Amino acid sequence: MGPGNEFDMVRLMMAQWGALAVDIGDDAAVLRALSREIVATGRELIVSTDACVEGTHFLRGWLTPHEIGARAVAAALSDLAAMGARADAVLFAFVVPDLWRASLVDIADGTAQVVRPTGAKIVGGNLSHGRTFSLTTTVIGSTLHAVARRGAQTGDRLLVTGSLGGPGQAVAALYAGHEPAAWARGRFASPVPRLREGMALALAGVHAMLDISDGLAADARHLAAASGVRLRIDAACIPIGPQVDVVAALQSGEEYELLIAASVTVATQLCERWREQFDVSLTDVGEVVGVQSEGAVEIVGLPDPDVRVEFIVGHDHFTE
């Protein structure tokens, strides 16, 4: 790379990434080793892109620059986890207003913190000036057993990783001008992509899976619609965080936990052995109760049956 402000900023970020960054500087990345392995082993290539935009996904005062970088990458990697894939490569596209230039090093450090333990490499991207900060992350992964959201079958059990409600509680507090509880803020600011868990679930033979980015109620409806089935979720079984009510947990978006449909046999085996492998919980929250062309979700066991659960996107990116 030659001289210039843009390339100076790239060099600053590369200094933070260190050995994570490989072959950056050409017009495009060449993934020779990955391509050869995919062909040799019969793995499937999994690719996803996720954008993190100031004013839509966060307000600047809510998060540190380090957290902004870490959170953006975690959200993208969660899409690989939902397919049962490992992470192989990452690309970043930055739009950087002048006021954000001094924060780039910390943002890059945050991205590195999340990418490093996955074994993936940062292989390129783009840097542009603009009025609103955004970080778009493209992730490339691979798997021997890709899991889609369209495979749920009648009789399957519904499983959920982790405890829900933290991000929704944190965002509500931040909008109200309050400091969120530490657990809730941590779940919002520092989500953990469930990559190892997703790969294990895929290898176990689960039928369908997706990450809970829009809220459990909304994403359950996405799974039901994709699979053409009807789901029944028992609210009393939903794993909720401290001081979170169950309706809020059903509607809390940007959880980045996994919702899974699996046969009774596989679900039972997973729940019995899960804690031997993973620190995060795995909870049975319901079942697939039948076929329905457009999909549907029924919530039972609410403490107040008159309470209405909104089956809307937890964080609608096109709603002011």
Quick: pLDDT tens for 224-262.
Answer: 999 999 999 999 999 999 999 999 999 998 999 999 999
CA distance 97 to 100: 5
**For residue 203, what is the domain's CATH number?**
3.90.650.10
Are the beta carbons of 146 and 82 closer than 8 angstroms? no
CA distance 168 to 185: 9
Whether 195 and 232 share a structural domain? yes
Whether 80 and 116 share a structural domain? yes
In a domain, 317, yes or no: no
Range of 171-175, 261-265, 292-296, 297-301 with top mean pLDDT? 261-265
Whether 138 and 161 share a structural domain? no
Tell me what percent of the residues of the chain surpass a pLDDT of 90: 78
Confidence (pLDDT) at 295: 87
Residue 4 pLDDT more than 50?
no
pLDDT tens, 271-298? 999 999 999 999 999 999 999 988 899 9
Start-to-end C-alpha separation, the chain: 40
pLDDT tens, 28-37? 888 888 889 9
Whether 211 and 280 share a structural domain? yes
Last residue of a domain, one of 143, 165, 197: 143
Instruction: Determine how many CB atoms are found less than 10 A away from the CB of residue 122.
Output: 27
Query: What's the whole-number mean pLDDT along residues 165-188?
Result: 95
Q: What is the mean pLDDT of the chain?
A: 91
Whether 216 and 87 share a structural domain? no
- Return the bridge partners of 140, or none: 47, 89
Split at pLDDT 50, 70, 90, the class of 20 is confident
19 contact partners, CB below 8 Å, separation of at least 6: none
Question: How many domains does the chain divide into?
Answer: 2
In a domain, 312, yes or no: no
Look at the block and give the residue holding tokens 């046999």.
265
Q: Which sign, positive or negative, has the C-alpha torsion 241, 286, 262, 295?
A: negative
In a domain, 152, yes or no: no
Query: What's the whole-number mean pLDDT along residues 179-194?
Result: 95
In a domain, 319, yes or no: no
Higher-pLDDT residue of 311, 67:
67
Q: Which tokens belong to 139?
A: 């992730």
Instruction: Determine how β-strand 229-234 pairs with β-strand 296-300.
Output: parallel
Whether 45 and 77 share a structural domain? yes
Residue 319 pLDDT more than 50?
no
Residue 7 pLDDT more than 70?
no
Confidence (pLDDT) at 317: 47
Residue 316 pLDDT more than 70?
no
Whether 189 and 240 share a structural domain? yes
In a domain, 116, yes or no: yes
Amino acid at residue number 99: L
CA distance 118 to 190: 15
Check: pTM over 0.75? Answer yes or no: yes
Confidence (pLDDT) at 291: 93
- Give the residue among 282, 245, 243, 286 at the shortest CA–CA distance from 264: 286
| Range of the structural domain that residue 129 is part of | 5-143
Quote the crossing angle between the two packed helices 195-204 and 264-277, to the nearest 10°: 140
